[in-house]
Structure formats: C-alpha cells, structure tokens
Chains A and B, each alone.
Chain A
C-alpha cells in the first residue's frame, strides 16, 4: 500500500504567519489522466471534517484562498498564508490513487 508521511506531528505558529505542511508519498500519485490523487483535510473539535484541496492543488468550494495546495509526484505541500485563529486544527493528507486509500499521520497546528 502507499504510505504517506507527514513528518511534522505539530507545528507552532502565531496568527498572521505563513505555514507549510508537507506530505510525502512512497510512490507517485500521478495518474494517467495527468492528475494527482492527493487531497487535504482539516479537523477541528466539534466540527465536521472539511475537505480543503483535491487533485493536489484544487481548492474545494468555499475554502479561503489562503489555503494553497502544491506539489507533484511524491511531494506535496499545504500552505496557509496569514494563518487565522480558526485555522488551528489537525491537517491530513489522503491518497486515493490506489486502494487501500491511506492517510498521512496528521499535522496539528498549535498556537505559539
């Protein structure tokens, strides 16, 4: 199965800063259609899990433009510019290229 590695378990940042969360896959997530099957999710206590990004860089409806997905092949990044108080949460990457679909271990953004 494909392993996704999110090296940072926690990141401590201050509101207004920019942060990048990385996700490395054990094999390329590029499909023959030219798209990467990598998505990003946000989990906040008391809220439903929110999909932020799919196909590595496409923002889902209603997601603020400060959330930016990038990367290709096996290396992917979720960047958040000008972090807002509501962005302190856990972030996961997920690959849906091959079954079983697998998640990264999660990265928790914490207030510095």
Chain B
C-alpha cells in the first residue's frame, strides 16, 4: 500500500525558510508525480508544485521564486522548501502522489502537518 508521511517543524519564524519532508513507502518516487498542497485556515486549498519521476519540477506561479521541491531517491523522500515565509504561509501542508498519467488526480495523500509562522 502506498503511504506518505510529512514531517518537519511545526513553528517557523517570519522571514525564515520552511522545510518539510515527505517519506513515501510502498511505491518508488522514481515513478509518477509527487506534489505539495496546502490548506489555509478557513479551508482554502492551494496546489504548490510537484516533482516528477525524472526530477523535473513545476511550481505554482503564486509562490514565485520562494519554492523549491527536491528529492532523495535513495531514501524515497521528497522535500519542500519555502523561503521568506510570512504569517500568510501558516497552513496545513500535505504531500500527495499525482497528478500523473493516465488519471491526473492525487490518489494518495499524507496526513498533513500543521505549520505556524509566528515570531
């Protein structure tokens, strides 16, 4: 069974970087696509970006140059780094598999990790 688990600090100071890890079991991240999604207080959801089976990336332009998604295939993990965070980045962060061929949807999700940006 495919399982994803997010991990990382729950509290980040403004202007610092947010770094999260998604550990995947039951499936290799060298196949399919692997994304980050966040849910803000008030329930708005935002797709942040993905890293593909080949290591290519795609990001939401709303995050401009603040975001980076990387991976470690030896550990079957992929990572989110979001720079220069503000209180508006307070959210629950999810990693998910997808959206890849042929179905183009997110079929497996992690439980999510709540991150608060506060001094």
Contacts and interface: CB of A to CB of B under 8 A. Distances in A.
A74 B60 CA distance: 22
A94 B62 contact: no
Interface string A25-69: 000000000000101010000001111001100101000000000
Contacts of B99: 96, 101
B75 to A, nearest CB: 21
A94 B105 contact: yes
Interface string B92-119: 0010101100011111111110000000
B47 A105 contact: no
A90 B47 CA distance: 17
Interface residues of B, number: 23
Q: Taking chain B's interface residues, is the majority helix, strand, or loop, or is none over half, making it mixed?
A: loop
A102 B47 contact: yes
A46 to B, nearest CB: 8
A49 B104 contact: no
B103 A54 contact: yes
B110 A41 contact: no
B11 interface: no
Given A48-B111, A100-B62, A94 B43 contact: no
A100 B109 contact: no
Contacts of A49: 94, 96, 106, 109, 112
B106 A51 contact: yes
Interface of A: 37, 39, 41, 48-51, 54-55, 58, 60, 90, 92, 94, 96, 99-103, 105-106, 108
